[in-house]
Amino acid sequence: MRSGIGKYFLRIGLSLLVSFGMGFLISEGSFYILNQGKPPENQDFILVIPKGTADRIEKGLTVPSISENMVFYEGDRIIVKNEDDVSHQLGPVWVPAGSSGTLDLGQQQKYTVSCSFQPNKSLGLDIRQKTDSATRIQGVLAIGLPSSVLLFLFSIVLKPIQSGSDIGHNNDEK
Amino acid sequence: MNNKLVILLVIIIAIVGVGSAFFMARPHGLAGSVIDPPVKAPAIDLPSSHGEEFHLQDQRGKIVLLFFGYTFCPDVCPTTLFDMLQIKKRLGDKAEQVSFVFVTVDPDRDTQEQLSRYLKSFDESFYGLTGEESELEQIWSDYGVYREIQENNSSTTYLVDHTSRLYLIDQKGQLSVTYLFDTPVEDIVSDLKYILKQGDSS
């Protein structure tokens, strides 16, 4: 006959197994749906500064094709193509007219860089963490651990574990 | 051991070594912000600290490292000029193929004489350029140089906020790379050596 503690361990083990199985399915399922099963690769985003941008900025107008805030992932790059007649600047990158420059986006962070092709002279960059193996494991853990605790507690409430002494006591009562 | 076997082993090791070096060799990545495609560097024709007029087009065949600053600058300019001096030293003989140019953003105080005195404390071969504000304004604009005088009560001790970028103009007179203020000297030297080598081989 299994002891009371053994039964508790079995229940905890089962809760962990079910919860981590569920966590794995949810986390990896979402990853697969979002990335078609492939880890996301670094991307080059081409930002075109159209002709006449400097004139529009001087008049306080926005450039419709360029957003004020952009979201990227670690390791992405912004390639600034300057089709305007004057040079432009995006943070550390200075791009003469008719050329292009590249801004390498580093680690995860949210910041604002100086930008000559925005009316407020700044551009918000939101660099998010790339989904790597560590993130995927974190996802499974984040679902699996709390779920296993909850599952164990619910199971205890719904189907209490009877220890050996309890069974003996019950048999005596009968 | 059989001599033929030794020779065979040496050949195999040599092939593996050369092959590994070939596959492991990576193309040089420039440390600065690359201007792609390079564009013709806007003309600079200004009086220099050497006494005569400086013409950027006369520097064809040499690399030009260009910086905009002022002699009364308390921090960025002396640091950059010191870095330029270190670059020149580390280039050794190859430094003859590089011109170091300092264009003022404060023409009211930076006369040819003042530039000459100031640059002597770094390196006499460095060009210090000044001129009429109208001439300089065109150059500042062409090179995207931000420059603003910080107003205060004194007309002689004011500070000037300015761009601290370093520009690299290649042997063909094309603007090809820019460097941020804090780019390590060794990275710039490595880029210069690479560009000089490219120039030699073409």
Distance from CA of A99 to the nearest CA of B (A): 6
In eight-state DSSP terms, residue B182 is T
What's the confidence (pLDDT) of residue A169? 56
To the nearest whole Å, the CA of B144 is away from the closest chain A CA by 6
- Measure B30 CA to nearest chain A CA, in Å: 12
- The arithmetic mean of pLDDT across residues B173-184, rounded, is 93
Sign of CA dihedral A54, A60, A63, A66: positive
What is the overall mean pLDDT for chain A? 84
Residues of chain B found within 8 Å of residue A102, distances taken between Cβ atoms: 33-34, 36
State yes or no: pLDDT of A172 exceeds 60: no
Q: What is the mean pLDDT of residues B144-167?
A: 87
Contact A94 B36 (CB under 8 A): no
**pTM of the entire structure?**
0.71
Top residue of B178, B180, B187 to mutate, by most chain A CBs within 10 Å, is B178
Residue A5's pLDDT is 82
Task: Give the per-residue pLDDT at B152.
Answer: 75
Q: Which residues of chain A have a CB within 8 Å of the CB of B143?
A: 87
> CB-based contacts of B176: which residues, under 8 Å, 6+ apart?
B34, B35, B38, B168, B169, B170, B195
Give the pLDDT confidence of A107-120 residue by residue, as tens digits: 888 888 889 988 88
Interval B113-136 mean pLDDT:
96
pLDDT band at B137 (very low <50, low <70, confident <90, very high): very high
pLDDT tens for B56-98 read 999 999 999 999 999 999 999 999 999 999 999 999 999 999 9
Alpha carbons B167 and B38: distance in angstroms, whole number:
12
Distance of residue B107 Cα from the nearest chain A Cα, in angstroms: 23
Q: CA B69, CA B88: separation in Å to the nearest integer?
A: 19
Comparing alpha-carbon positions, the chain B residue that sits nearest to A103 is B33
Task: Give the side-chain half-sphere CA count within 13 A for B94.
Answer: 16
Q: Say whether residue B148 is in contact with chain A using an 8 A CB cutoff.
A: no
Q: Which amino acid is at B36?
A: D
E strand or H helix at A72: strand A69-73
Q: Which of residues 54-113 of A touch B (CB under 8 A)?
A: 86-89, 92-103
Strand locations in B18-170 (E): 33-40, 45-47, 53-55, 63-69, 98-104, 127-129, 147-150, 159-162, 166-169
Nearest to B128 by CA among B19, B44, B194, B22: B44
Tell me, yes or no, if B33 comes closer than 8 A to chain A by beta carbon.
yes
B34 chain-A contacts, CB cut-off 8 A: 101-102
Q: Is B180 exposed, middle or buried (0-12, 13-18, 19+ CB in 10 A)?
A: middle
Is pLDDT larger for residue B55 or for residue B22?
A: B55
Compute the distance between CA of residue A20 and CA of residue A17 in angstroms, rounded to an integer.
5
Tens digit of each residue's pLDDT (9 = 90 or more) over B7-31: 777 787 778 767 666 655 556 788 8
Mean pLDDT throughout A39-44?
A: 76
A139 interfaces chain B, CB cutoff of 8 Å: no
The per-residue pLDDT for B38 is: 94
CA distance to B20, B27, B138, per residue, from B187 (Å):
25, 15, 31
| pLDDT (0 to 100) of residue A107 | 80
**What does the alpha-carbon distance between residue A80 and residue B35 come to, in Å, rounded to a whole number?**
10
3-state secondary structure of B40: strand
The 10s digit of each residue's pLDDT in A52-66 is 999 998 888 887 777
Q: Which residues pair with B98 in a beta bridge?
A: B63
- The secondary element (H helix, E strand) that includes residue A155 is helix A133-158
Test A97 with B34 for CB contact under 8 angstroms. Answer: no
> Can you give the pLDDT at residue B3?
76
> ipTM, 2 decimals?
0.74
Q: Which of A74-88, A144-158, B9-23, B114-128 has the highest mean pLDDT?
A: B114-128
